[in-house]
Chain A
Amino acid sequence: MAKITFDGIEVDVPDGTTILNAARTIGGGIVPPAMCYYTPLKGSGGKCRACLVRVAAGSAKDPRPMPKLVASCVTPVQDGMVVENTTSEQVLNVRKGIVEMLLINHPLDCPVCDQAGECDLQNFAFEHGVSTTRYEEERRTFEKIDIGPLIQLHMTRCILCYRCVYTADQLTEKRVHGVLGRGDAAEIGTYIENIIDNEFSGNVIDVCPVGALTDKTFRFKQRVWFTKPVNAHRDCENPKCCGKVVLWYKGKDVLRVTARKDQYGEVKEWICNTCRFDKKETSDWTLEGPAHIDRSSVISANHYELPVLNAQVIADLPESSVRDLEQNPPMRLGN
């Protein structure tokens, strides 16, 4: 075990834990933001630099500060390490700079982007950035690539987190997409027109922190904050699929199916494309109750997490769900 001090809070974590995960065990507002790191994906992290923190003391053995800010998501703790995140002016300033860098070539097309409302970049910019820009140059554009009928690729929005590449690599047998080119011309692509089609390919949508990979079947259907997320499950025949999802309702219609994310936006159990794209009837699912939505999210503006038998909530749910909920009251609320 290693004892570290993070923003003045002491915490004991197992050796080898990253600084970020140590901070997550504390939780709350001191946790550094992460745009590329994704716990379930091996090799992820270190790229976006959103999670840079200052190591004021390297370890008990060698208490010198580290010369540069470090990526908390890939830097392991040392016993006696002292880390500054929100308590360091330098870190906060650098983070503003990172926001600026991630936005200079971003199209800022939130009004027409399906990710708006659940976009990590939007949240990151809102929480850590400044509201003006100094960028006067032309923004980068890419040639459009069609990657099939299920997933929509908007390369201009991509922040090159590589999460979708790791997902395809680690979840599927035959990865057909990757990062092509280099520098600021690097892009997610298939090089030779190829449809990203595999029973688990849809998971790239959920891991994408921005609107670069979105659900084509949900495209322009509804702003996410007007939909009602409801946890549901089914007995999926695919042994690798957990069958546990969130159904995004508008009225009685299931507009979209996603895997469940934890408070850091991470999917811990993957779902197959059948569950995601083909099961859009309430009758396909056993409903559990409203999905937990973080208070900070814009989606929570229309979301009430009250006891599920509360009439207000039930009034908004499709009849079938209400019936289902009445017959099978959930064991617990939220996720």
Chain B
Amino acid sequence: MESTTAPVKPQFSEAAKAEIDRICKQYPEERRKSAMLPVLHIAQAEFGGWVAPEVQDLVAEVLGVKPIEVYEVSTFYTMFNLKPVGKHVLEICRTGPCQLRGSDELTLELERITGAKVGEGPSADGLFTLKEVECLAACGFAPVVQVREKYYEQLDTEASVNAMLSELRNMVHRPALPWEEKGLPNAVANN
């Protein structure tokens, strides 16, 4: 299970540092702040699926900006979790096209099975956090749930929902990200 509190003085893994360096080079030298969102994504992946204040401070340090500049951004974009989450965050699309094909019912079903409630903390076993999100751009394959970088589509049957959940339950470590394949990232080690 992932720890629910971030380390006091978090540090990026060597692999993540290398990835951050690569990303920062994509922008003009004096525009390092541009790397804010990609670096926040890396931070969230590294530190247990959420960005604790200390983690955001680390992002500020890495980018050479004031901490408030990170907070302004992390609280604006909905992908960044500001509170501890379960091992898997199920992001359930609730927007029109998904609703037309049963996303409301799917949400209730997922609440029933996992025991977690949308918008609240993780399930008792620490496995699942349920989060309702707006349109995931997969309307033709509704209803849809996103978990990390993966889309689970057409979850309108018991079988498809169960398949998703058992895949997640059986997952020991979250899938490694491209830059992690060689290094030893924090999150995989923590999982």
A contact residues vs B (CB 8 Å cutoff): 174-182, 190-192
Q: Which of B67-121 contact A (CB under 8 A)?
A: 67-69, 71-72, 75-76
Cβ contact within 8 Å between B76 and A175: no
Cβ contact within 8 Å between B66 and A174: yes
Chain B residues, CB < 8 A from A181: 75-76
Cβ contact within 8 Å between B68 and A190: yes
Partner of A176, one of B53, B68, B76: B68
- Expressed in whole angstroms, the Cα–Cα distance for A180 and B71 within the complex equals 7
Q: Interface of chain B, helix or strand or loop or mixed?
A: helix
Residue of B nearest to A190 (CB): B68
Cβ contact within 8 Å between A191 and B66: no
Give the top 6 A-B pairs by smallest Cβ distance, nearest first: A191-B71, A180-B75, A178-B72, A178-B68, A182-B76, A181-B75
Write the nearest CB–CB distance from B42 to chain A, whole angstroms: 20
Chain B residues, CB < 8 A from A190: 68
Residue of A nearest to B68 (CB): A178
Cβ contact within 8 Å between B68 and A175: yes
Taking A175-B66, A176-B68 as known contacts, 11 extra A-B pairs with beta carbons closer than 8 A to each other, sorted by chain A number, are: A174-B66, A175-B68, A176-B67, A178-B68, A178-B69, A182-B75, A190-B68, A191-B53, A191-B68, A192-B67, A192-B71
How many B residues touch A, CB cutoff 8 Å?
A: 9
Chain A residues, CB < 8 A from B68: 175-178, 190-191
Write the nearest CB–CB distance from A198 to chain B, whole angstroms: 12
Chain A residues, CB < 8 A from B72: 178-180
Q: Which of B53, B68, B71, B76 has the most CB of A within 10 A?
A: B68
Write the nearest CB–CB distance from A30 to chain B, whole angstroms: 37
Partner of A192, one of B53, B69, B76: B53
- Expressed in whole angstroms, the Cα–Cα distance for A191 and B75 within the complex equals 9
- Expressed in whole angstroms, the Cα–Cα distance for A176 and B68 within the complex equals 6
Residue of B nearest to A191 (CB): B71
Chain B, 47-69, contact with A by CB distance < 8 Å: what is the 0/1 string? 00000010000000000001111
- Expressed in whole angstroms, the Cα–Cα distance for A287 and B113 within the complex equals 74
Chain B residues, CB < 8 A from A180: 71-72, 75-76
Write the nearest CB–CB distance from A88 to chain B, whole angstroms: 35
Chain A residues, CB < 8 A from B76: 180-182
